[in-house]
Amino acid sequence: MTEIPANSFYVMSGIIGILVLASIVCILLRFKNPQVDYTELRQRIQSWWVMIALLFFVLIISETASLIFFGFLSFLAFKEFLSIVPIRHADRPVIFWAYLAIPVQYFWISQGWYGMFIVFIPVYMFLLLPLRMVLIGETKGFIKAVGTIHWALMLTVFCVSHIAYLLVLPIKNQAAGSIGLVIFILFMTQFNDVCQYVWGKILGKHKIIPKVSPNKTWEGFLGGLFSITICCGYVAPLLTPLTFTQGLLAGLLISSAGFVGDIVISSVKRDLQIKDSGTLIPGHGGVLDRLDSLTFTAPLFFHYIYFLVY
């Protein structure tokens, strides 16, 4: 069992408290307005309980368990992505090699080998996958196929794996430990989604990109940006090696990148004419629906921390 540092324990307890409050509010709403269907809200909260419980469990168990957990998330996200995009039948051997890249990528993380971690998928898999496709001999749709598979690998494995690498960085905030970095990026990214949604519902009038995401407004984006920036400024010194000012900059980065990650995946779903990437998580959709913002915030926050502090 991993000993949970004090600050990380307090924040984890706070997150559980927020879930308890959300559950109570949902029950009260159902009693107050029995004619209103709150099924989706109830499913969302129940799913959050399961996801938070799994995350906290693996973080407490060990670093190895956590790496396996994030590796499995990458596997599910990659599998889900390939299930919604058109893939040539001839490319199945190529996809096999792409799947093999997942345990290899997380092995580099377990060894703390930053050099291989940072180039394995963007360079070596980038070169290997088209070579394997050439050997198959099918040229029709080659460009689309190689681009789709490699981009899926970059998005769901390379980008997501940056969360796991935070666990093996040298600890410079003993009160939070490496777990604090993971909790920080996960909580702030998801809280950013909530803030942008709430501000958009309350004040939203001016749409940003209606053809991609009709519900996204400037008011929602700016409200979320302000909320997360301030929140990160105060929380960063508790969970990360960042100062208050550095935390403010991290908040700007996370809120902006989270918005972009969200609309990028929305563009993919619009192109494919689907609402959700899957049905694995009740009330949320698929794994990719829940990781969309993190695919952008995780690598950017990781490098912000890595080059600024370490």
For the residues of 233-270, what is the DSSP string, one character each? HHHHHHHSS--HHHHHHHHHHHHHHHHHHHHHHHHHHH
Question: DSSP of 118-172, one letter per residue?
Answer: HHIIIIIIHHHHHHHHHHHT--TTHHHHHHHHHHHHIIIIIIHHHHHHGGGSPP-
Asked whether residue 37 is domain-assigned, the answer is: no
Domain hosting residue 113, numbered range: 65-168
C-alpha closest to that of 258 among 214, 227, 280: 227
Is residue 103 within 8 A of residue 76, CB to CB? The reply is no
234, 285, 286 from 40: Cα distances, Å: 32, 11, 14
SS3 94: helix
Which pLDDT score is estimated for 34? 86
Asked whether residue 91 is domain-assigned, the answer is: yes
Asked whether residue 305 is domain-assigned, the answer is: no
Asked whether residue 206 is domain-assigned, the answer is: no
Asked whether residue 24 is domain-assigned, the answer is: no
Is residue 5 within 8 A of residue 180, CB to CB? The reply is yes
SS3 64: helix
Number of domains in the chain: 1
Which pLDDT score is estimated for 41? 84
User: Rounded to an integer, what distance in angstroms lies between the CA atom of residue 27 and that of residue 155?
Assistant: 37
Asked whether residue 239 is domain-assigned, the answer is: no
Which pLDDT score is estimated for 38? 82
Find the Cα–Cα–Cα–Cα dihedral 289, 295, 297, 300, rounded to 10°: -170
Is residue 236 within 8 A of residue 247, CB to CB? The reply is yes
Amino acid identity of residue 119, one-letter, is V
Which pLDDT score is estimated for 40? 83
User: Rounded to an integer, what distance in angstroms lies between the CA atom of residue 94 and that of residue 89?
Assistant: 10
User: Rounded to an integer, what distance in angstroms lies between the CA atom of residue 80 and that of residue 270?
Assistant: 16
Asked whether residue 243 is domain-assigned, the answer is: no
Which pLDDT score is estimated for 37? 85
Is residue 152 within 8 A of residue 80, CB to CB? The reply is no
Tokens found for residue 265: 């995946």
Asked whether residue 123 is domain-assigned, the answer is: yes
Digit-by-digit pLDDT tens for the chain (310 residues) are 778 889 999 999 999 999 999 999 999 988 888 888 888 889 989 999 999 999 999 999 999 999 999 999 999 999 999 999 988 888 999 999 999 999 999 999 999 999 999 999 999 999 999 999 999 988 899 999 999 999 999 999 999 999 999 999 987 777 888 899 999 999 999 999 999 988 998 888 899 998 888 889 999 999 999 999 999 999 999 999 999 999 999 999 999 999 999 999 999 999 998 988 888 888 888 999 999 999 999 999 999 999 988 7
As a 3-state breakdown, the chain gives helix, strand, coil percent values, each rounded to 5, of 80, 0, 20
Which pLDDT score is estimated for 262? 94
Cβ within 8 Å of residue 170, ≥6 positions away: 310
Predicted TM-score (pTM) of this structure: 0.94
